[in-house]
Amino acid sequence: MTVKDIFNLFLLISALHGFLFCLLILFSKNGREKSMIFINLLVLIISLNNIQSWVLAKNFFIEYFFLDYIHIPWHFLIAPLFYMFLINYLEIEKRSKNILKIILPVFLLTISIRIGFVSFFSDKNTTDVAYLFEKYTSIEEIFSLIVSLIIFGYSFQILSKKEQLFTKILSFDNLKWIYTFFKLGLFTYVFWIIALAITVALDFKEFIYSYYPLRVLTTVLIYWIGYQAIIQLRLLKERKDLRKQLNFAPILEVKEQTEEEKDADKQLLFDKIHSLVEDKKLFIEPKLSADFLANELDISSAKLSNTIKLFSGKNFNDYINEFRIELAKELLTHENYKNYTITSIGLESGFNSKSTFYYTFKKHTGLTPTEFQKSTV
């Protein structure tokens, strides 16, 4: 099997996988969410592009001039659909531009130009026509690349303004997975630029093997963000539901101290710290720090840490994590949340990642969250 055969097989399998993905999302519980609709369309576009490339590579329409030269430029829609997913996931679509309304007419115009091009040359099936077609296709692709880069950059600019535009979503999702997508996306654009540069350098006359890694990378990247979006959307919905429904009871009781063991003023300060953390549920904020809490109480962070150590016997992080662990234990054993993912429970309890939650939970209880949940059934 040659490299070309392997690549063509990849195109076919990835296209079929994409169509199956779209069907599963379409009939899933969250399939009607706007953000998921755009992710689904994004996967569909890549799947259509791959099946089109496979059909053309297999020369199924070599005898039909019109069909062999009508290549739909699906790549025009990739960046706009990702942008639409982004603004809907971040819940800022009402304050953002609908770029798709601008790009769709351009996309349809390029298809019309292609049809006109093919119609004009349909009775002149010569080598020169093939050369002209490849040249036009590359010029069209360069235009698409420029437009895509502009939208990609604009999308990243929106994400960089997170503290001003969408503070609400940040309390549920740190968006690291989207930042990862941007990093990988930039890498993909480099491959695209290289492939186009080689095409131009070879005067549009030879098949460019550099498009192989580009198409593979693009496909994997789009499918990856599709699956990530499914996972993150579920976590987001569960965490919102948890925060909305839970009416927290006190998580930890203040340890009583005898007069010999404590100073009255220090005990009063500790009670104040404990009450602030408990009543305002500050512990569910992953970025809670000693400096922030000390500032709220108008004391130094050193005094805060020393007071916590004196009365709880723990350092600041262990003290806060104890609140988080107690809440997580409550949620893990609560009948209303037995179908929720352990990850969403951990994140909503104040941990910044699944791995941190599992490590800290086992450190405090001797069991993983999964083992703890099973032990209480």
The answer to whether 149 and 189 have CB atoms below 8 angstroms apart is: yes
pLDDT of res. 156: 92
pLDDT of res. 216: 86
Burial of 29 (0-12, 13-18, 19+ CB in 10 A): exposed
Compute how many other C-beta atoms are within 10 angstroms of the C-beta atom of residue 55.
18
pLDDT of res. 32: 81
Q: What pTM, to 2 d.p., does this model score? A: 0.71
Say which CATH number the domain at 319 has: 1.10.10.60
Burial of 43 (0-12, 13-18, 19+ CB in 10 A): buried
pLDDT of res. 163: 57
pLDDT digits 0-9 by tens, 57-110: 777 666 655 555 677 889 999 999 999 999 998 888 888 889 999 999 999 998
Is residue 255, in this structure, part of any structural domain at all?
no
Domain count, the chain: 2
Is residue 259, in this structure, part of any structural domain at all?
no
The residues of the chain scoring below 50 in pLDDT are 257, 262
pLDDT of res. 150: 95
Same domain, 121 and 207: yes
Same domain, 83 and 188: yes
Same domain, 106 and 73: yes
Same domain, 319 and 350: yes
Is residue 136, in this structure, part of any structural domain at all?
yes
Is residue 198, in this structure, part of any structural domain at all?
yes
CA-closest candidate to residue 372, choices 339, 333, 335, 322: 333
The answer to whether 331 and 321 have CB atoms below 8 angstroms apart is: no
Is residue 178, in this structure, part of any structural domain at all?
yes
Same domain, 276 and 240: no
Q: Enumerate helices (H) and strands (E) in the chain, giving the number of each.
A: 17, 0
The pair of three-digit structure tokens given for residue 369, joined into one six-digit string? 């969250």
Is residue 126, in this structure, part of any structural domain at all?
yes
Gap between the Cα atoms of 94 and 87, Å rounded:
9
The DSSP symbol for 125 reads -
Is residue 307, in this structure, part of any structural domain at all?
yes
pLDDT of res. 246: 63
Of the residues 212, 244, 276, the one at which a domain ends? 244
Domain that holds residue 109: 3-244
pLDDT of res. 26: 84
Same domain, 212 and 280: no
The pair of three-digit structure tokens given for residue 119, joined into one six-digit string? 């119609």
pLDDT of res. 78: 92
> For 174-300, where are the alpha helices, taking DSSP H only?
176-201, 211-245, 264-279, 290-297
Mean pLDDT, rounded, of the chain: 83
Is residue 90, in this structure, part of any structural domain at all?
yes
The DSSP symbol for 363 reads H
pLDDT of res. 263: 61
Same domain, 206 and 269: no
The pair of three-digit structure tokens given for residue 118, joined into one six-digit string? 């093919």
pLDDT of res. 104: 94
Same domain, 351 and 318: yes
Of the residues 244, 273, 298, the one at which a domain ends? 244
